[in-house]
Chain A
Amino acid sequence: MTNQRGLVWNWGLIHVLLAHSSDTISNSPRRKWASCNLLEERRERILQSWWLTVGGKTLSRHMKRNMADREQVVERNSSSLTKSERRGKGVHGVLAGRGSSGSALGIKVRRRRRRRTGGAGKPEGQICGWVEGRVRVVPCSVVSVEGKMLTNISGVLRACAQRNGAAAVVSARTYADFTTQATFEIKKCDVHKLDEAPATQVVMTRDEGLQYYRTMQTMRRMELKADQLYKQKIIRGFCHLYDGQEACAVGIEASIKLTDHLITAYRAHGYTFTRGGTVKEIMAELTGRRSGIAKGKGGSMHMYCKNFYGGNGIVGAQVPLGAGVALACRYKGTDELCVCLYGDGAANQGQIFETYNMAALWKLPVIFICENNRYGMGTSVERAAASTDYFKRGEFIPGLRVDGMDILCVREATRFAADHCRSGKGPILMELQTYRYHGHSMSDPGVSYRTRDEIQEVRSKSDPISLLKDRLLSNNMASVEELKEIDIEVRKEIEDAAQFATTDPEPPLEELCNHIFYNNPPVEVRGTNPWAKLKSLS
Chain B
Amino acid sequence: MATSLRCFLRSGKQAVLVVARRGIHRSPPAALQCQETSRRYINVTVRDALNQAMDEELERDERVFLLGEEVAQYDGAYKVSRGLWKKYGDKRIIDTPISEMGFAGIAVGAAMAGLRPICEFMTFNFSMQAIDQVINSAAKTYYMSAGLQPVPIVFRGPNGASAGVAAQHSQCFAAWYAHCPGLKVVSPWNSEDAKGLLKSAIRDDNPVVFLENELLYGVPFEMSEESQSKDFTVPIGKAKIERPGSHITLVSHSRYVGHCLDAAAVLAKEGIDCEVINLRTIRPLDVECIESSVMKTNHLVTVEGGWPQFGVGAEICARIMEGSAFNYLDSPVTRVTGVDIPMPYAKILEEHSLPQVKDIIFSVKKTLNV
Contact = CB atoms under 8 A, between A and B. Distances in A.
> Bound pair: A and B?
yes
Nearest to B104: A320
Q: Main secondary structure on chain A at its contact with chain B?
A: mixed
Contacts of B112: 309, 321, 324-325
Nearest to B111: A324
A302 B142 CA distance: 11
B41 interface: no
B115 A328 contact: yes
A297 B146 contact: yes
A329 B110 CA distance: 9
Contacts of B102: 320, 323, 351, 354-355, 357-358
B166 to A, nearest CB: 25
A393 to B, nearest CB: 15
B113 A361 contact: no
Which of A309, A320, A516 has most chain B Cβ within 10 Å?
A320
A260 to B, nearest CB: 11
Contacts of A516: 142-143, 181-182
B106 A355 contact: yes
B145 interface: yes
Nearest to A362: B94
Nearest to A326: B109
B116 to A, nearest CB: 10
Chain A CB within 10 Å, residue with most, of B136, B149, B206 = B149
B149 A304 contact: yes
Contacts of A314: 132, 136-137
Interface stretch (A36-44, A231-239, A398-406, A517-525): A517-525
A325 B113 CA distance: 5
B164 to A, nearest CB: 30
Interface residues of A, number: 50
A515 B147 contact: yes
A435 B198 CA distance: 49
B136 A317 contact: yes
A321 B108 contact: yes
A323 B117 CA distance: 14
A298 B145 contact: yes
Interface string B133-163: 1001100011111111110100000000000
Contact of B101 (A313, A350, A523): A350
B332 interface: no
A109 interface: no
A322 interface: yes
Contact of B110 (A296, A325, A361, A523): A325
A434 interface: no
A305 B148 contact: yes
B133 A518 contact: no
A518 B97 contact: no
Contact of B109 (A324, A361, A362, A530): A324
A530 B181 contact: no
Interface in A354-375: 354-355, 357-358, 361-362
A321 B65 contact: no
Contacts of B137: 312, 314, 317, 321
Interface string B79-122: 00000000000010010110101111111111111110000000
Contacts of A320: 101-106, 108-109, 133
A449 B310 CA distance: 43
Given A328-B110, A351-B102, A519-B205, A294 B142 contact: no
A61 B4 CA distance: 123
A322 B105 CA distance: 8
Contact of A358 (B97, B114, B132): B97
Interface of A: 261, 263, 294-298, 302, 304-305, 309-310, 312-314, 317, 319-329, 331-332, 338, 350-351, 354-355, 357-358, 361-362, 511, 514-520, 523, 525, 530, 538
Interface of B: 65, 91, 94, 96-97, 99, 101-115, 132-133, 136-137, 141-150, 152, 181-182, 184, 205-206, 284, 322-323
7 contacts: A297-B145, A304-B149, A327-B110, A351-B105, A357-B99, A358-B102, A516-B181
Given A296-B146, A357-B97, 18 more contacts: A261-B113, A297-B144, A297-B146, A304-B145, A310-B145, A323-B105, A326-B109, A327-B115, A338-B113, A355-B102, A357-B102, A358-B102, A361-B97, A515-B147, A516-B143, A516-B181, A516-B182, A519-B206
